[in-house]
Amino acid sequence: MRFAVITFPGSNGDHDALMAIQMGLGQPVELVWHTETDLSRFDCLIIPGGFSYGDYLRAGAIARFAPVMESVRAFAEAGGPVLGICNGFQILTEAGLLPGALLRNASLSFECAWVHVRVDNDRTPWTRALAPGTILRLPIAHGEGRYYADDATLERLEREGRVVFRYVDADGRVTPEANPNGSLNNIAGVCNERGNVVGLMPHPERAYDRLIGGDDGLRVLSAVLRAGVAAASRS
Ligand SMILES: NC(=O)CC[C@H](N)C(=O)O
């Protein structure tokens, strides 16, 4: 599968994603600058982490207006797999491609740690290979990761099973202690209605090899390879 990693001024996870796809998955991947608009040569998109436009106004609030975002929207609307990681998740919520918002962490501090998340939805291209209840150990690094949605949206997300990842303890229990940022319902990642667009705050691309602390992230990134047939039939 051909992967695109969309890069904005201030992205810092773009090369991590590039390495994870190249070294971890052995798949073709290109960095795509935010001014580009032609994404037709790609099968899936990764919006990486970082501080696009310095996180000015709000994280992701300026990047959503970048020229590439109209093409990202069209790609998503055509059913293509899109993964927003950390700042990428923030950009996708700002763009309205995912519901809710990412607020300042409850601690008001930048949180950098390894956490556990539980897969609660295996119907997305990014979790297809993972049984619900699978626990992954992934790193987080963010100051604005507290997932928020209004009551009606939250109720709908839960009812439709669109919470994809949830912060849990090592045994898979949803506890306040396992929640690193005060996210509602311990939400670490959600998907759109169709399930092809997923955003999460933890960094799967920074966990693609045991040499760098863990390889659970590869399980998320590689799941999309199973969606290859669907992508091929789309183009
Ligand atoms: N690692 C990142 O993507 C950082 C995300 C974001 N800029 C924040 O601090 O909340």
pLDDT (tens digit per residue) in 45-103: 999 999 999 999 999 999 999 999 999 999 999 999 999 999 999 999 999 999 999 99
pLDDT for the residue 232: 46
Q: At 15, which CATH number?
A: 3.40.50.880
Which candidate, 45, 32, 37, places its Cα nearest to that of 70? Answer: 37
Q: Domain of 214?
A: 3-234
Any ligand 1 atom below 6 A from CB of 205: no
How far is C-alpha 74 from the geometric centre of its chain's CA atoms? 18
C-alpha 94 – ligand 1 centre gap (Å): 14
C-alpha 10 – ligand 1 centre gap (Å): 10
Atom of ligand 1 minimally distant from the CA of 88: 3
Confirm whether pTM is higher than 0.90: yes
Beta bridge partners of residue 33, listed in sequence order: 7
Number of domains in the chain: 1
pLDDT, the chain, mean: 95
Q: Which residues contact 125 (CB under 8 A, 6 or more apart)?
A: 44, 81, 195, 196, 198, 223, 224, 226, 227, 230
Any ligand 1 atom below 6 A from CB of 82: no
Q: Which residues contact 78 (CB under 8 A, 6 or more apart)?
A: 234
Any ligand 1 atom below 6 A from CB of 50: yes
C-alpha 229 – ligand 1 centre gap (Å): 33
Any ligand 1 atom below 6 A from CB of 59: yes
Q: What is the pLDDT of residues 138-155, one digit of tens each?
A: 999 999 999 999 999 999
C-alpha 106 – ligand 1 centre gap (Å): 15
Q: Given pLDDT bands bounded at 50, 70 and 90, which one contains residue 228? A: low
The whole-angstrom separation of Cα 153 and Cα 209 is 36
Asked whether the predicted pLDDT for residue 158 surpasses 70, the reply is: yes
Pocket test residue of 46, 102, 142 for ligand 1, highest count of atoms within 8 A of CB: 142
| Mean of pLDDT values over 27-39 | 97
Asked whether the predicted pLDDT for residue 234 surpasses 60, the reply is: no
Query: Does ipTM top 0.90?
Result: yes
Token code pair at residue 7:
């890069």
